[in-house]
C-alpha cells in the first residue's frame, strides 16, 4: 500500500499486522536483525544516547515519521506560538498511521522549552500519532505515561517557553540520526532506530532464527556440563 505526500510522492505503508509484530520485539533485537541483512553499516540508523527513552515501562513504539523543525528559545517572528499553527496537520495526515513525530530543536543548545506535554500529546494522538522523538524537550511525563504516549527526548523542561514550528515535512537530524518523512521508526527503553522499509518484512523471521541461537548459548552457559571448548564451538556456529 502507498500513500501520497503533498508532492505526489508515495509513502510506503506496510501490513498493519507486520507493524504489530515489530512492536512486540525490543529495539536491540530489531537492530541485530537489521545487521544480518547487511542493508547498512552497523554504526548507522539509530539515534545516539543524547536521545533517551523517558517512559521505559511503555511497550515499543512503531510508526512512520513525520518531521518538524522547531525553536523554543526565541519568540516567533509573528508573535504566535506553536499552539496557533495547525497548517502542518494536512501534510501530517498524508503519512500513513501510526505516526511518530520526529522533532528537531534547531537551537545550538536545544531543550529550553518543551514542544509537547499531555494536552498536545492528546491532540496528536487524535491525529494518529503514536509517540515523539526529539533532541529537544517534553514535559508532563505522568500525563504522557497515563496516555501511553512514548517519548524519546534529549531533555525535560517545565515550560514550553517559545516553542514554535519553523519547518515541517523536511529531513531532520535528531541524536545524530537523519530522518526523512515516512521513514519507519522503532523505539523502546534502549533507544530509537529507523527500520529500512525494504527489509522490514524479513525481520521477524531473522529475529526468530537469532533467538534460537541465542537461547542455545544462554542455556549452554547455565548447563553444569558446559566446557570452554564447547562454548567456543557453540559461539562459532552460524557465523560467517
pLDDT of 240 above 60: no
| pLDDT tens-digit map of 127-141 | 999 999 999 999 999
Average pLDDT, the chain: 92
| pLDDT tens-digit map of 150-185 | 999 999 999 999 999 999 999 999 999 999 999 999
| pLDDT tens-digit map of 39-92 | 999 999 999 999 999 999 999 999 999 999 999 988 877 655 555 688 999 999
The HSE-up count of residue 236 (CA atoms within 13 Å, CB side) is: 6
C-alpha cell at 177: 540520526
Which residues lie below 8 Å from residue 41, measured CB to CB, with a gap of 6+?
A: none
Q: What is the arithmetic mean of pLDDT over 179-193?
A: 98
Q: What is the arithmetic mean of pLDDT over 9-18?
A: 89
pLDDT of residue 197: 97
Nearest residue to 114 via CA among 146, 75, 61, 153: 153
pLDDT of 2 above 90: no
| 135 exposure class (CB count in 10 Å sphere: 0-12, 13-18, 19+) | buried
Q: What is the DSSP letter of 180?
A: -
pLDDT of residue 81: 54
Q: What percent of the chain has pLDDT over 90?
A: 85
Amino acid at each position: 500500500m502507498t500513500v501520497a505526500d503533498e508532492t505526489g510522492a508515495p509513502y510506503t505503508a506496510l501490513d498493519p499486522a507486520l507493524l504489530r509484530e515489530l512492536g512486540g520485539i525490543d529495539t536491540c533485537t530489531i537492530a541485530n536483525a537489521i545487521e544480518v541483512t547487511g542493508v547498512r553499516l552497523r554504526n548507522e540508523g539509530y539515534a545516539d544516547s543524547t536521545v533517551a527513552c523517558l517512559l521505559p515501562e511503555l511497550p515499543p513504539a512503531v510508526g512512520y515519521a513525520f518531521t518538524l523543525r522547531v525553536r523554543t528559545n526565541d519568540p516567533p517572528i509573528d508573535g504566535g506560538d506553536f499552539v496557533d499553527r495547525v497548517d502542518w496537520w494536512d501534510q501530517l495526515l498524508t503519512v500513513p498511521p501510526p505516526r511518530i513525530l520526529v522533532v528537531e530543536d534547531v537551537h545550538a543548545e536545544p531543550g529550553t522549552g518543551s514542544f509537547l506535554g499531555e494536552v498536545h500529546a492528546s491532540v496528536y494522538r487524535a491525529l494518529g500519532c503514536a509517540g515523539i522523538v526529539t533532541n529537544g524537550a517534553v514535559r508532563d511525563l505522568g500525563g504522557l505515561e497515563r496516555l501511553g504516549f512514548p517519548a524519546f527526548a534529549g531533555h525535560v523542561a517545565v515550560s514550553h517557553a517559545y516553542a514554535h514550528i519553523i519547518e515541517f515535512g523536511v529531513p531532520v537530524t535528531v541524536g545524530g540520526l537523519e530522518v526523512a518523512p515516512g521513514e519507519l521508526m522503532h523505539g523502546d527503553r534502549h533507544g530509537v532506530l529507523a527500520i529500512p522499509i525494504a527489509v522490514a518484512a524479513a525481520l521477524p523471521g531473522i529475529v526468530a532464527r537469532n533467538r534460537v541461537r541465542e537461547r542455545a548459548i544462554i542455556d549452554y552457559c547455565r548447563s553444569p556440563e558446559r566446557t570452554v571448548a564447547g562454548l567456543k564451538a557453540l559461539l562459532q556456529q552460524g557465523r560467517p
